[in-house]
């Protein structure tokens, strides 16, 4: 209950500040619409926003799932295989040095304007944070636990399952939090580069028509989706003590 009260107070403060900026600058509504005008646009265009939000949410969730799965598998492989650390990790770091957003036009050209290119962009953006954070957690086993595993002559698999994995779960949670922050930007960039559906496409369309209130409405829906996903993850993390 206290969290809801705090969220309501923060929301009210944000809306009040937004309206104060509109009054102070006296900006035209097609430059900076007020919260009332954006709220009216949300209500009037609800079916349109829901249709495009559904497409964006599916791409976002699918890309997240694929990126997290690939990142976890990569981290586990790096943790158990010295050869992979020598051969794969430098490639992973080099690939991260190339901005994925710069590859968005190429991915759209290869995969088309449908959902596939957006899913791959989201997957690539969140892949490195998850893999890197989880791998660091796996490799930072406290010395007493490492000594215990050596004394018990634990096999690499048992060491990984019973010691490294439990110890690395907080690091994985950190990587997942970063992924949830980056993913909405990634899916919107993908829809800006080339799409015929989605909230990013709707934002570009509204901007081109001078419907700034609709563009803000689409942005608010995207933010709401991201906050819901983050809140769901935080709830699960608290439930499992992470």
> What tokens were used for 183?
């993913």
> What tokens were used for 22?
């509109």
Model confidence at 3: pLDDT above 70: no
Residue 241: pLDDT band by 50, 70, 90 thresholds?
A: low
Q: Which of 212, 199, 226, 240 is nearest to 35 (CA)?
A: 212
Q: What's the pLDDT tens digit per position in 34-55?
A: 888 999 999 999 999 999 999 9
Tell me the residue length of the chain: 242
Q: State the average pLDDT over residues 233-238.
A: 81
Residue 199: pLDDT band by 50, 70, 90 thresholds?
A: very high
Q: What's the pLDDT tens digit per position in 19-35?
A: 888 888 888 888 888 88
Spell out the residues 6+ positions from residue 174 whose beta carbon is closer than 8 angstroms to its own: 133
Q: What's the pLDDT tens digit per position in 112-169?
A: 888 899 999 999 889 988 998 999 999 888 877 777 777 777 777 788 878 888 889 9
Q: State the average pLDDT over residues 220-242.
A: 83
Q: What pLDDT, on a 0 to 100 scale, did the predictor assign at position 30? A: 81
Spell out the residues 6+ positions from residue 30 whose beta carbon is closer than 8 angstroms to its own: 210, 212
Q: What pLDDT, on a 0 to 100 scale, did the predictor assign at position 60? A: 93
Q: What's the pLDDT tens digit per position in 60-111?
A: 999 999 999 999 999 999 988 888 888 888 877 776 777 777 788 888 888 8
**Contact between 218 and 202 (Cβ < 8 Å):** yes
Q: State the average pLDDT over residues 172-199.
A: 89
Q: What pLDDT, on a 0 to 100 scale, did the predictor assign at position 121? A: 92
> What tokens were used for 134?
């989880």
> What tokens were used for 130?
């998850």
163 DSSP assignment:
I
Give the helix ranges, DSSP H, for the chain.
2-25, 35-44, 46-80, 82-97, 100-111, 115-139, 143-151, 156-159, 165-193, 199-208, 212-239
Q: What pLDDT, on a 0 to 100 scale, did the predictor assign at position 85? A: 84
Residue 200: pLDDT band by 50, 70, 90 thresholds?
A: very high
Q: What pLDDT, on a 0 to 100 scale, did the predictor assign at position 59? A: 94
Q: What's the pLDDT tens digit per position in 59-74?
A: 999 999 999 999 999 9
Angle at 43 between CA 218 and CA 186, to 5 degrees: 15
Mean pLDDT of the chain: 86
- For residue 27, CA distances in Å to 12, 21, 23, 126, 210 come to 21, 9, 8, 37, 14
> What tokens were used for 184?
């909405």
Q: What pLDDT, on a 0 to 100 scale, did the predictor assign at position 64? A: 93
Q: What pLDDT, on a 0 to 100 scale, did the predictor assign at position 242? A: 56
Please state the pTM of the whole predicted model. 0.87
113 DSSP assignment:
S
Query: Cα–Cα distance between 215 and 50 in angstroms, integer?
Result: 14
- Name the CATH superfamily for 34-239: MetI-like (1.10.3720.10)
**Contact between 163 and 177 (Cβ < 8 Å):** no
Query: Cα–Cα distance between 177 and 87 in angstroms, integer?
Result: 28
């Amino acid at each position: 209950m206290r969290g809801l009260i705090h969220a309501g107070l923060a929301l009210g403060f944000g809306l009040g500040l937004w309206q104060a900026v509109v009054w102070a600058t006296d900006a035209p509504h097609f430059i900076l619409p007020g919260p009332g005008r954006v709220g009216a646009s949300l209500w009037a265009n609800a079916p349109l926003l829901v249709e495009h939000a559904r497409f964006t949410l599916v791409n976002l969730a699918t890309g997240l799932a694929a990126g997290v799965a690939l990142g976890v598998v990569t981290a586990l492989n790096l943790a158990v295989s010295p050869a992979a650390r020598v051969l794969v990790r430098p490639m992973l770091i080099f690939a991260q040095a190339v901005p994925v957003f710069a590859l968005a036009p190429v991915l759209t050209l290869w995969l088309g304007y449908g959902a596939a290119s957006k899913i791959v962009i989201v997957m690539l953006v969140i892949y490195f944070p998850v893999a890197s954070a989880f791998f660091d957690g796996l490799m930072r086993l406290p010395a007493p636990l490492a000594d215990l595993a050596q004394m018990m002559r634990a096999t690499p698999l048992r060491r990984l399952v019973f010691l490294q994995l439990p110890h690395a779960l907080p690091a994985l949670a950190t990587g997942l939090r970063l992924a949830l922050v980056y993913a909405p930007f990634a899916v919107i960039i993908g829809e800006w580069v080339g799409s015929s559906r989605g909230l990013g496409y709707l934002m570009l369309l509204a901007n081109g028509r001078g419907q700034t209130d609709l563009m803000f409405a689409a942005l608010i829906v995207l933010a709401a989706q991201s906050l819901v996903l983050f809140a769901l993850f935080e709830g699960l993390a608290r439930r499992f003590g992470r």
